[in-house]
Amino acid sequence: MRNTLRRSNAPHTKHRHMADNNILNRLDGLKLKFEEIGQQMTDPEVIGDMKKFVQLNKEYKELKPIIETSDRYRTAVNNLREAKDILANEKDEDLREMAREEVAELEPSIGKLEEEIKLLLIPKDPQDEKNAIVEIRGGTGGDEAALFAGDLLRMYTKYVESKGWRYEINSASEGSSGGYKEVVMKVTGDNVYGTLKYESGVHRVQRVPQTETQGRVHTSAASVAVLPEAEEFDIELNMNDIRKDTFCSSGPGGQSVNTTYSAIRLTHIPTGIVVQCQDQKSQLKNFDKAFEELRTRIFNLEYQKYLDEIAGKRKTMVSTGDRSAKIRTYNYPQGRVTDHRINYTIYNLSSFMDGDIQDVIDHLIVAENAERLKESEL
């Protein structure tokens, strides 16, 4: 932005950007709300009420990017209006030239800021900020499906590391020839669920299995379910509804990991949901992890209803949470990955399986944002 322009006091010309409609009024309302929340968070009574403070802090964090972007937008709109005033009223050719340059610079940037604000104003899925439980199961294809489930686990752990997130394996059931029949991990970090939710669904693999002597390509599949982790305040569990069983952890080939009964199995009697954790040597730690996962799975029974409702409204919802939907094919002979939701194909299978999946996630986010914008304009 050039600060050398002399600002004119001439009457303002009408500006045709978003400033002429109700969005600026809406942004004014949000700015007031943002300031009010900031003040409430310093109130000792609110600080003493953990549940209320957590809720306000969440709202404050959600509003912050909208307020920051709208401040940048306002400044740009005012500068554009002043530059146009100079063009309309100023005789000095040097000033007029600088004003023309400023207009040429500001108009496209204001357009981009408008798009950004429109997206930010669309209500986000409140679960996006949360940590996630990722469950990978070998599907059709026996040993080969279990091996592919293992490949997917490796892909996700590499991706998680590249994002600076952390993961812990909650439970795992190994396949007879390697890989996993089922593996459950918890991923913690910023906006984990909002990023990984696009991975829910059936992942299909086409390749020649190691056991195949004729060199024929087989098709098998693994399913991935990504669940937002329920927080303490999301759901209240009655301990009388939970049955707790302890057992010895077993490692590969059925060997005992330790001889104490440190592994935990929790059954939620009203829903029949069962979770287990045998990752830690301490029964207490295993109980805490299993309890967290149980809370998440019960919370997700309700959350799935919300997803189904949204999916019903959208024709091509990218993240439906439908675990039976075939979302992606990994074709090894061609080195190809195809995401069927957005007809997106790339030929970098080996780096993709090494955790380089951000590009496809970015494309999915763009596609979903376009859907949400369209939906908000209806």
Is 299's pLDDT higher than 90?
Answer: no
Contact 226, 134 (CB under 8 A): yes
CA 283 to chain centre: 32
Based on the domain organization, do 181 and 256 belong to the same domain?
yes
Read off the tokens for 20: 């002429």
pLDDT tens figures, 158-195: 999 999 999 999 889 999 889 999 999 999 998 899 99
Q: How far is CA 357 from CA 154, 199, 224, 353, 360, in A?
A: 12, 10, 15, 8, 6
**Last residue of some domain: 121, 148, 181?**
121
Read off the tokens for 309: 């409702």
Residue 267, domain extent: 132-377
Separation CA 235–CA 199 (nearest Å): 25
Based on the domain organization, do 144 and 283 belong to the same domain?
yes
pLDDT tens figures, 96-123: 999 999 999 999 998 888 878 877 877 6
Find the CATH number of the domain harbouring 76: 1.20.58
Provide the pLDDT for residue 354: 97
Q: How far is CA 328 from CA 83, 192, 316, 346, in A?
A: 50, 20, 15, 11
Find the CATH number of the domain harbouring 290: 3.30.70.1660
Q: Please check whether residue 100 lies inside any domain of the structure.
A: yes
User: Model-level pTM greater than 0.85?
Assistant: no
- Among 132, 154, 122, CA closest to 299: 132
pLDDT tens figures, 203-252: 999 999 877 778 899 999 999 989 888 876 677 788 888 898 888 766 54
Separation CA 312–CA 316 (nearest Å): 10
pLDDT tens figures, 40-81: 999 998 888 888 888 888 888 888 988 998 889 889 989 999
Q: How far is CA 100 from CA 85, 94, 112, in A?
A: 11, 10, 19
pLDDT tens figures, 73-101: 889 989 999 999 999 888 888 899 999 99
